[in-house]
Structure 1
């Protein structure tokens, strides 16, 4: 039974945004675990309606559209639909996506993806673009307010025309923060999972002392989705496990492996 349900009896804290946490929680429960969902951050549109003509012009002129997150892709399509805007013809524009989830979201909406790095981080996406983008190309980067400017810093020195469009911003989820405080007072956790550095910082603002106690006692395992999230945790003196593939599937596999080994 343990191998069929490797998370049997394990309590897993999911700190992801509410709209994205449900599927993560169901996956945990499907593996036998108990998922406790606390949404610490939420997202809201950042691009004003007044910018629609400029944005449409940038899309029409773009040779590349670059999506740095699945949230960027979601807000991109929502903005287009909300403002009656159109996509450039697929034959004219090429599309780059930071990772498989973002690429899948785009393909599901009939937007072919021409480039995706093997490692799902901005640095790898920037390097991949560096090999493909021509000097005369115009590149539109679709991003959130906390996205780093790695792509601009990598491509701009090559003379490539980069325009960055902040489509959404990340803000604290006050209801989720309250739920986290209540959950931490009632429960102990076998795993605490983080899928972004912004969630780490919000979490630590609330439970920094408790997290250090959990880490020192060794009863709680912290799991980061990728290197930036892992680095954010390390800044608070918390070590974490990180999957070799920076996805939810990778995080689940990591937790299952740890549970099987009894670490």
Structure 2
């Protein structure tokens, strides 16, 4: 194996949303691999224009604004821009983000981030917020329709005023699903990657028991973090998970597996 191209000759199925999969695919190519991109889910706005004034009023009263994903941050800023809502870096609201990528996206839009947990999972963010949020603080969690209620379930019993704003919906990507069906007829994969539990469920609904046959052909399933791994476990699919729950962590894990199998 070429040490400089640890994924040389490896076929990697990327099931991530197409807007986010391109950079993942380029990194795979840079390591010598061949990415096959099949977007299984897509995202659409969930909050109507009629709710803009109420959203702005709630935002103005918020002491802590919490983002649990990059998608939540993207839809948040898009909604502000689309409805002329002002939210500057000088605003009194503090900001918490579940991971460094989400935090970086927010900072790039000139908004300071006050809290990022060491582990990029909602449970860690909820525990960190318990130490920071005041008893009289108002907390707003920005999320998608499939987002878990971990932060609310953790803070609400403490008497903290917490609300959830559903800014986007996760829906199946019909074009990507069709591509997966066709690709699976003719291709075999060395790695299948998942970056969310919703993608796992969509994938398994399409492939059903056929995916287990891939394990017999030494296909390695790679999950980005604990929740994604748990979703695969539900279907009896073992997977490898990186120590750092990021795309780069997944790449490192695939390179390590490839090196062991050389």
Shift of 1:88: 5.2
Question: Which is worse superposed, 188-197 or 205-214?
Answer: 205-214
Match of 1:252 in 2: 251
Shift of 1:186: 1.1
Contact 1:135–1:159, Cα closer than 8 Å, also in 2: yes
CA–CA distance in structure 2, aligned partners of residues 193 and 149 of structure 1: 25
CA–CA distance in structure 1, aligned partners of residues 91 and 139 of structure 2: 16
Shift of 1:90: 3.2
Q: TM-score, normalised by structure 1?
A: 0.98
Which structure 2 segments of 5+ residues have no match?
none
Alignment of 1:1-263 (within 5 A): 2-87=2-87, 89-215=89-215, 217-262=216-261
Give CA-to-partner distance per residue, 1:122-168, whole Å, 9 cap, x none: 10010000010000000011000000001111001111110110000
Which structure 1 segments of 5+ residues have no match?
none
Q: TM-score, normalised by structure 2?
A: 0.98
Give CA-to-partner distance per residue, 1:170-220, whole Å, 9 cap, x none: 0000000000011101100000000000000000011122211111x1410
Contact 1:73–1:142, Cα closer than 8 Å, also in 2: yes
CA–CA distance in structure 2, aligned partners of residues 186 and 37 of structure 1: 15
Runs of 4+ more than 3 Å apart: 88-91
CA–CA distance in structure 1, aligned partners of residues 88 and 122 of structure 2: 24
**CA 1:89–1:12 in structure 2 vs 1: closer, same or farther (change >3 Å)?**
closer
CA–CA distance in structure 2, aligned partners of residues 240 and 218 of structure 1: 14
- How many residues of Structure 1 are paired with residues of Structure 2 in the alignment? 262
Secondary structure in 1 matching 2:208: helix
RMSD: 1.0
CA–CA distance in structure 2, aligned partners of residues 89 and 54 of structure 1: 21
Contact 1:90–1:112, Cα closer than 8 Å, also in 2: no
